[in-house]
Each structure stands twice: as structure tokens, then as C-alpha cells.
Amino acid sequence: MHSELKLDIKSNKVMIIKGLYKSFADNHVLNDFNLELVRGESVVVLGKSGSGKSVLIKCIIGLIKPDKGSIHIFGHNIPDLDHDELDQIRAKVGFLFQSNALYDSMTVRENLEFPLRRHCLEVSQKEVDKMVISALEDVGLAHTIDMMPVELSGGMRKRVALARTLILKPEIILYDEPTTGLDTITSKEIIELMVEIQQKYKTTSLIISHDMNCVRMASDRVVMLIDGKCYASGTYKEITQSVDPKVKLFFE
């Protein structure tokens, strides 16, 4: 029997990252990174390729262990948690992978059922079916329920991955480069969907991106990840008007 974690879901600050360090050999990817996430806001972490954005988001979800620093989510420090405790946090934190990470060998239905079966052991098949259809309807793809991921287009796969993320009704959603590999029109549709979902379910979003459309459309606040640090922070307008040369480079 594993201990039940008491999650402080009502707290206004849902995530507090303090003094985060992560290096790979001599490559210091995160170097004293700090961030606070307030309930219901949408924060975009902006940085160039290889700046450590994906490493940051994987540290947050517990897939990578940081060298130093703390990541408190719902009052618990992620690096200190064991596997079972992490699973309890992960049930409340959705993660949309850059590559979608849909299971190739499973249908769309099975892909969506997978996290449900793991986290909600006492749910009946009837309820599972209802939740799967509801999540697919949220992303406008209920008709793909019995299709294999390989039969879907890039944009559809992204939507199904988003439905899988949504199915557990997470409090926080982490998006790792949600528009990478998509054309401009599909990217716009995905961003609109993300905004719609955030408004509908009142989730808190942390979006990792270098797509300026995504930053402009989906952010309440933008955090610039430069040299492994939270280099600048502010609204889209404030950041675009910054006179700092390193920040200006992104908007030129």
C-alpha cells in the first residue's frame, strides 16, 4: 500500500521552481532557473533551440532529475518524490510531448484509455468510454476513435495527443513545442484549441515554444530562457518592447 500524497490543489501558486541547475557533462543547460506559476495563467517559456526548454519541462514532470534546486508542484518537491508519489502528481499534470508520443501499436481509443486505466483503477468500462468520447469531442476528432495513429495527419495526431493529455482533467498542462512540425494553418488551429481548453477547464499552462505565433496567441506571460536562466519575464507586449539586445534578437 503506497502512501497517499496530500496535494495542495487550492493553492494560488501551483508551481514554484527555485535555483534549478542541470548539466550534461560541460554543457550547463539550466543555471539557477527560477519560475512561479499562478493558478489559471498561461506562461510561455521562450528560448532558442538547445537552450534547455525541453530539459526544463522534463525536470518538471520528473523524467529528468535536476542536479540542484527545487520544483514544488501542489506543495511537493518533485526531485524528492518516489515513483508512486510522482504518479499521483502526474495524474494532475498533463504533458503534451513534442513528438505527440502516441502509442503506434494502439488505436486512438486505446491510446486514450491507457492513462485512464493506470490512474483511475475503479472506473467502469461505460465511464471510460464516455470519458474517451468526451475528450475526443473536445478536440473535434470523435470520428477517429477506432483509427490507428499512423492513419492520422500530423495535426490530427497532435489533437489526439492533446485529448490524451486532457482525459485525466489535469490542473496543469505542460506543452513541449506544441506547434513543431505543423504548417502555419494547423499550428494556428492547435494554438486556438489550447486557448479554448484552458478557458473551458480553467487549467494552468506552461508552454515551451520558439513559435512567435504561439507566444503571441497563447501567453498571459512570457519567460525568456537564456543562458539557462529566467533572463526576462513579462507580458508579450512588454517583452517585445524590451531594449535588451538578447531579448530583441527573438523579435527581429
Partner 1 sequence: MSIKSDLRSFLTLNGELFRFSLRFFRHGLNPPFEFSEFLKQCYVIGYKSLPLIGLTAFIMGLVLTMQLRPSMADYGVEAQLPAIVAIAVIREVGPVITALIFAGKIGSSIGAELGSMKVTEQIDAMEVSGTNPFKYLVATRVLACTLMLPVLVMLGDAVSLYGAYLGVNIHSNTSFILYWTQVFDNLVFGDVLPAFTKSFFFGFAVGIIGCYKGYNSSKGTEGVGRSANSAVVVSSVLIFVIDLLAVQVTDILGY
DSSP one-letter string for 72-117: EETTEEGGG--HHHHHHHHTTEEEE-TT----TTS-HHHHHHHHHH
Are 14 and 40 spatial neighbours (Cβ–Cβ below 8 Å)?
no
**Residue number with CB closer to partner 1 (36 or 87):** 87
Residue 128 interacts with partner 1 (CB under 8 A)? no
Write each residue from 66 to 95 as x if it is in contact with partner 1 (CB under 8 A), else as -, in one continuous string.
-----------------x---x--xx---x
Residue 2 interacts with partner 1 (CB under 8 A)? no
**Residue number with CB closer to partner 1 (171 or 224):** 171
Strands (E), the chain: 13-24, 27-38, 42-46, 68-73, 76-77, 93-96, 172-176, 204-209, 221-226, 229-234
- Distance between CA atoms of 100 and 204, rounded to whole angstroms? 20
- Segment near partner 1 (CB under 8 A), from 99-107, 128-136, 207-215, 238-246? 99-107
Among 13, 68, 118, 200, binds partner 1 (CB under 8 A): 118
**Residue number with CB closer to partner 1 (92 or 210):** 92
- Distance between CA atoms of 111 and 10, rounded to whole angstroms? 30
Q: How far is the CB of 136 from partner 1 (least distance, A)?
A: 17
Are 64 and 20 spatial neighbours (Cβ–Cβ below 8 Å)?
no
Among 76, 119, 216, 229, binds partner 1 (CB under 8 A): 119
Interaction site with partner 1 (CB under 8 A): 58, 61, 63, 83, 87, 90-91, 95, 97-99, 101-104, 114-115, 118-119
